[in-house]
Structure formats: structure tokens, C-alpha cells
Structure 1
Amino acid sequence: MMAAAILALYAVVAVVALPRLLTRGEWAERAPRLAIAVWLAGCISVVASVLFSALAAAIPANMVGHGLAEFFKACADMLSDRATFDSPSARAALLGAALIAARITYCGTAILVRARRERRQHAGMLNILGRHDGELDAVVLDHDEAAAYCLPGRKGRAVITTAALQSLAPEQVAAVLAHEQAHLRGRHHLVLAAAEAFPRAFPHLPLFTRARREIARLVELLADDVAARRHSRIHIAAALVRLATGRAPAFTLGAGGETALTRVKRMLNPAAPLGCRERVAGLSAVVLLLAGPAAVAAIPGLNSFLAHHCHNISIF
């Protein structure tokens, strides 16, 4: 029960404390890819902690200590009418864990299915109204609003309007399309879908709500950085200024948007990248967030296993 209490307490504290901790300083702007991983790992760790807490509360540790066969039999018995060790609290814990897992799975699937349907409809419209430009490797859409975006998916494509082509210099067009190609190659739509699933499943929780906003911003910073490897930051910044008011469909990833002007400042005044120690610390945090809940949940069972088979050996 101690492990279950620790995991439940961590989940409650992390939901409130992690957003404040992760938004301190400007480290995320210096390493957006790492920051995305940390935010997602934090969300996963909270959900995993709740699930493992329920399992730890429902399944006695000594069931693990008597061997895996008995452990799985005990789990099956707990869910059947033949259970001899179950209790209402244990059944409630397992039911709660199942509902949480089902909720996050359903919301994630619903987001992906809806986005895929909307992208298919938009792709059909592009096939009729747009034309593929081989030199740009993008679809050109006749429109009087300057915009550039990408339509992700199995046959992802970058899209730019005629108004954007008229208002941007060739170097700026190449830079902004490199930004969109970075979204496509990085499959950022899946990252955004994962970030959306958590607050959709469990709304009003500070960690999940803030993670969705931060990850949406960070994927744009990441695409800017990838484009800046081959194109001048000045060209990227100039393109962002001209496309700042451009509106892209909600299920696409656009170069403009409300973060464009802050990204312009970042392009013109780039901060130094994280040092080796800072990156190692960030990667360690990701590993700890992902593996920590499972490790805590496993300790009582492992302790019981060692005590049963090795008698006097104990972790704690």
C-alpha cells in the first residue's frame, strides 16, 4: 500500500508542480525537441502513476513473490467470481485503472480519426483547386491571403498560397517551405495529437492544459530550427512577419499564427544551445519520468519476491 500511496501523491503533486517547474527559464526555447519529450514524459508519468497506484493497491505484493504463474492466476481470480482474496476496494481500484486507460485510449483515437477525416476532405479540395509545383515541391493554392501550411499524413504535402508567393522573395519561400517539410518529416501532427489527448481525456488539469499549449509552440520552434540548418535565419524571420496573420486550417500546421512574432525575435536573436550537461540532465529527467512510476510500483513485488526466494534479502 505504501507504493500505491506514493504514486497517488506524486500524481497529485505533479499535475500542479510540473507546469511551474518546466516553464522556468528559457531552456525550452534553446532545446525544443528535448522540451517536447519532457512535457510528454511528464503527462505520461502522471497517467502511469495513477494506473500503477491502482494496481499496487489492488494486487498484494506477496502474490508477485510466489512466482509469475501464481501472480497472473491471482489477477484472473480477482476479476472472477472464484476470487478468494478480492475486496470491494480492490475491484474498485482495478475498475478505475481500466476506465482511465480506456478514456485516454478513446480520446487519442478519436482525435486521430477526426483529424484524418478532415485532412482527407481538405486533400480532395486541394486536388481540385490546387496545382503541384515541382520546383517548390509544394501545392500552390489560389488565395488572396498569404499563408503556408502543411497537410500531414501518409501523403503529406506542403501548401502555399499565391498571395504568399507574390509577397515573399524566393529565398523566403524556400525557407518557409523548409519549415513545413520539417513538420512533415518529423510527424509533428502525431506529437500534437498526443498532447491534445491528455487534456481532452482529463480536462482542467494544469499539467495537461499547459502541456498542450507549450508543445504546440515548441513544434513550431523545432521546425524553425530545422529550416535554419539550410536557410538564413533572416529569411525565415522575414517570412514569418509576412505570414503572421495568415490562417491555416485547424487540422494542419501553419508557418504563421499567433506565435509568429515571438519566433521572429528568436530567429534574429538566437540563444546558445544547451550544453552537454544540461542535455544529459534533460534526458535523465525524461527517463526518470517514464520509468519512475513502474519502478516504484515494482519495488514491493520485487522485495516480496526476493524475500520469498532468498529469505533474508530485502531491498528496504
Structure 2
Amino acid sequence: MMVPAALLLLGALVAVVAPRLLARADWLDREPVVALWAWQCVVAAVLLCCALSMTLSASAAWQAVRGQVFAPAPNSVVDAYALGASGPWAATTAVALACGGLWTAAMLTREIVRARARRKRSRADLLVRAPLLPGEERRRNRLVVLESDRPDAWWLPGAAGKAPQLVVTTAALRRLKGKQLDAVLAHEKGHAQARHDWLLHCSAALAGGFPQVPVFAAFRDEMHRLVELAADDVASRRFGRLTIALALVELNEDRGVFGPCPTPQTHVPQRVNRLLTPPDRLTAARKLRLTAAAALVPVVPLLVTFVPALRALG
């Protein structure tokens, strides 16, 4: 039975080759939304390879699983997969991949629980620093101003049934001039509307659960970078690239990010340079081709899985 092995090899190939191809591409920074989609398709293809290989391996190892998976299939399809000819490795592979799937679910659950705890602490701190006015039952406005000497602005994802809140400090209000504040708020609203927090949670869960897998670490790093570029584009379309670039400088110049020493926010100068020297955007036709090509990546494992069945039925 070669299909589970072929799926594992395909998953390893995608995990190794696809990040290198994306790293060499010259359009990722030009079209961050398409790049986000491409990265999600790559990771989905890797996970799909593992899930399909686990299913077929379990079908080969245990008759009960085989009866459930191939219940509606004719005998010719079952024979095409040569499930009865599998060696002892089928059960081992199925168990190992199942453990990996359970570990992934556990890491994602842990990330969501931690994110909710952080959000709860942030909302509690927000109520302490910006308490509700007398008679105000809940905060209806989405913008909260905090007294602080540090210029900053961020968005706080909403809990179930609650809208996200935009938070800006008084120092940021003093620094930002003209439409710069509106551009920063549009940037943060871009994060909230696209639900970038879910992309960050999923990428962090995979990278934290499988630190030895480079594709997941690259996925996490690229998600953090590309969501910022995508939000920059949302703001620049409304208020101009120069406005959001100047706003980024005003908010970050006191943090040393533009100095010679590296800082945790070294991506900020790159974002400013990208806004000041915008590259040519891709045509709609090329964006469509790239989107379609990325969508085909998760389809390949499905084709590999169903080739024996299609041959038997054909």
C-alpha cells in the first residue's frame, strides 16, 4: 500500500519546497492578502497530507476503520488500495499521525485559552485605567483613550458577542497630526475586520506545538509580518501611504526601531520604506492566477488519495 507513504512524502515535499518558493517570490510584499492566502494553502496541504495518510493507514491496520471509511465503496475500489497487503508499519503510522493530530488540537486549544485569558486581563486593566462613567452600564463606543506618556495604539479583539475595541493613548493623540490618527485607526480596524487574530493564534499553535518543523515557524513569522502589511494597505487606500508612514514613525521613533541596533520591531522600518517607495501592484489577472494556483496546492493530496479509486471506477 503506497498511497499513505506517497502522501507523507508529498507533505514533506510541500513543507520544504513551498516556503522556499514563497521566500523567492517578488510579489509577497506587493500583495500581502494573496500571500496570506498562499501560506494558508501551503499549511493546509501539509496538514491534509498527514490527515489522509493517517486515515488510510488506519484503514489498512484495522478492519473496523476500513469498514467505516470504505463503507459506500464497491469491492473494486477497496482492492485498488491493497489494504490487506500492508505491513506492520500501518498501525504505527496511524497511531503516530493520530497523536500528532491530537497534539495539534491540544496546542490550538491552549493558544485559544491563553488568548482569552490575555484578553480578559486586558479588558480588566482597561476598565481600571479607563473606568466607565457613572450610569454607564457598558462601553458602547469602540474607541478608548488612555492616559499614557507612551505613544501607542492597538485593537483589543472582542469576546463572544462583543465588538473589538480600539485603544489609543493620549501621547499618541498629541503626536499624530492631521489624518495620521485616522490612518492608525483604519490600520487597527483592518486587523479587526479581517480577524487577523485567528491567523496569529493558529500559526502560534502550530509553531509552538512542533518547534522542529521549519514550515510552521516560517508560517508564524510570515503571518505576523504579512498581517501588518495588509493592514497598512487598508489604511493607505483611505488616507494615503505617506500619512500612514508618518504615523508609524511618530509612534515608534522613541522605541529605537530606526536605530542601528536590532530590536523586536525591526519590521517597522521595512514597513515605512515599503509605504514610501511603493512597488507596482499586480494586475487583477495575475492576482487571480496566483490565488487559483495557491488553492490548487491542497487539492494535490486529494488527487493522490483518490487516484486508485478513480482508476478502479474508470
TM-score exceeds 0.5: yes
Within-5 A mapping of 1:41-190: 41-59=41-59, 68-69=71-72, 88-130=88-130, 137-154=142-159, 155-190=163-198
Provide the identity percentage: 34
Give 1:68 deviation, angstroms. 2.9
- Aligned with 2:154: secondary structure? strand
Aligned CA-pair RMSD: 3.0
Q: Deviations over 1:63-119 (max 9, x none)?
A: 79x963478xxx9xxxxxxxx998643322221232122111111111111011111
1:274 aligns with 2:277: no
Within-5 A mapping of 1:20-59: 20-59=20-59
Q: Which runs of 5+ in 1 are unaligned?
A: 76-83, 248-255, 307-312
Q: Deviations over 1:153-196 (max 9, x none)?
A: 23311111111111111411111011011111111101111111
Give 1:12 deviation, angstroms. 1.9
Q: Which runs of 5+ in 2 are unaligned?
A: 61-65, 79-83, 133-138, 256-263
Q: Distance between the aligned counterparts of 2:104 and 2:284, measured in 1?
A: 35
Q: Distance between the aligned counterparts of 1:246 and 1:45, measured in 2?
A: 42
Q: How many residues align?
A: 286
Contact 1:7 1:50 in 2 (8 A): yes
Give 1:239 deviation, angstroms. 0.6
Indicate which of 199, 206, 226 corresponds to 2:234: 226
Q: Distance between the aligned counterparts of 1:291 and 1:198, measured in 2?
A: 21
Contact 1:179 1:226 in 2 (8 A): yes
Contact 1:14 1:207 in 2 (8 A): no
Q: Distance between the aligned counterparts of 1:158 and 1:114, measured in 2?
A: 21
- Aligned with 2:280: secondary structure? coil
Q: Distance between the aligned counterparts of 1:266 and 1:95, measured in 2?
A: 47
Q: Distance between the aligned counterparts of 2:222 and 2:51, measured in 1?
A: 25
Q: Deviations over 1:285-311 (max 9, x none)?
A: 22212222122112223333x1xxxxx
Q: Distance between the aligned counterparts of 1:179 and 1:262, measured in 2?
A: 16
Give 1:130 deviation, angstroms. 2.3
Q: Distance between the aligned counterparts of 1:180 and 1:141, measured in 2?
A: 16
Report the TM-score, using the length of structure 1 for normalisation: 0.81
Q: Deviations over 1:227-251 (max 9, x none)?
A: 112112211000101122578xxxx
Distance 1:143 1:38, change over 3 A: same
Residue aligning to 1:192? 200
Report the TM-score, using the length of structure 2 for normalisation: 0.82
Distance 1:25 1:267, change over 3 A: same
Within-5 A mapping of 1:243-282: 243-244=251-252, 257-282=265-290
Q: Distance between the aligned counterparts of 2:216 and 2:306, measured in 1?
A: 26
Indicate which of 294, 298, 305 corresponds to 2:306: 298
- Aligned with 1:273: secondary structure? coil
